[in-house]
Amino acid sequence: MSKYDVIVLGSGPGGYVTAIRASQLGFKTAVVEKENLGGVCLNWGCIPTKALLKSAQVFEYLKHADDYGLKVNDVDKDFGAVIKRSRGVAEGMSKGVQFLMKKNKIDVIEGFGKLKPGKKIDVTNDGKTTEYSADHIIIATGARSRELPSLPQDGKKVIGYREAMTLPEQPKKMIVVGSGAIGVEFAYFYHSMGTEVTVVEFMPNVVPVEDEDISKQLERNFKKSGIKVMTSSEVTKVDTAGKGVKATVKTKKGEEILEADIILSAVGIKSNIENIGLENVGIATDRDKILVNDYYQTNIPGYYAIGDVVPGQALAHVASAEGILCVEKIKGMHVEALDYGNIPGCTYCTPEVASVGLTEKQAKEKGYDIKVGKFPFSASGKAKAAGTPDGFVKVIFDAKYGEWLGCHMIGAGVTDMIAEAVVARKLETTGHEVLKAVHPHPTMSEAVMEAVADAYDEVIHL
């Protein structure tokens, strides 16, 4: 039996980052992985989807070359090559994680890990089971596509995000059920490639966790581009008996039958907590999540959990932050509990969506007297020059103390801009301080300053 200081179960952006930080802190560390290093994010999520979306964006640029005074003839796409490029990017990133494991002297144990009492873990690979032990075992097994009873996935006609990234051929018609980040990103990608796309969302607005103004703007953009959007609608039944698939959709006006080649189910995720030995050890769970304290300790000493398997936003950057905090606490360092109210969310369709903090509705519900500012990219010189004038920046401040309560963006490149608001909120920056911090011109980022100026009735370019 091999003995370690720290064993991490799972090598996604939570797991491998945790392992590296543990090694940096002097712990003898191993990571257990049943599939590919990097987990879903690097292999089937964050990274390869961005490669697909970039291909879609370039394709759209080429189709609209005339808008930039350029002539491009016979623009077409090779769907297979687009998928192949995405897989190549994912494979390269996974190899990068392999390099980081070697560089940091972390043992990679291949196989399916199952927790045991006494701070032990069995790893099964090719029918052979080996026992390992550690002073600290950190669970980072992530999540998978959630299935609804009314929408069972068969991997062919009703698919999840993994199949959506490797379809052998492009569908002519697709129904996307769910309009969270995964749903709208794939809706944009396939529509850009030429697929007829319909988005079905149960809630009244697309990207329902976002500020309502953002949701309405994205829906307008989608409809303008030709994507059909059905909100306050629910798929109640699917029929895969024929050549394609038929979906029965319940709407406010009654039932409607939609036909397509494929349905993509993007209705959320399911934590990977089954069959990993939680019951054997006595680790407490509630509603599909492992219960932990502020430092990710479970109810059983020596066992910890981070990432999608614990309460909190199921995001790669959250899992990484949780893992780092967890091992630093184990080391005895002074750490602060993670502020889940200051976690940025990013959606990479076109236009992009990024946000942090409270929405306008949430701020009002909490009883704040607020100042709201908005600045449209149609008034931004950089956005106009780039040909990306759609969208805006919206900021929300507490009128009494100037606290930056929320920031919401929709437009080109906003996922790279949101960090300004995250850092400023972490530093408890006031609206006046943001306003007096000189922003470079011409940039997209100066729209943040202009939105703040609008909140304080000092806007110049609007």
- Vertex 335 angle, CA 105 and 103, to 5°: 10
- Vertex 41 angle, CA 49 and 119, to 5°: 170
User: Alpha-carbon distance 445 to 169, whole Å?
Assistant: 39
Residue 441 catalytic? yes
Cα dihedral 446/448/453/455 (nearest 10) = 160
Catalytic residue among 64, 432, 441, 461: 441
User: Alpha-carbon distance 39 to 193, whole Å?
Assistant: 27
User: Alpha-carbon distance 149 to 270, whole Å?
Assistant: 13
Residues annotated as catalytic are 441
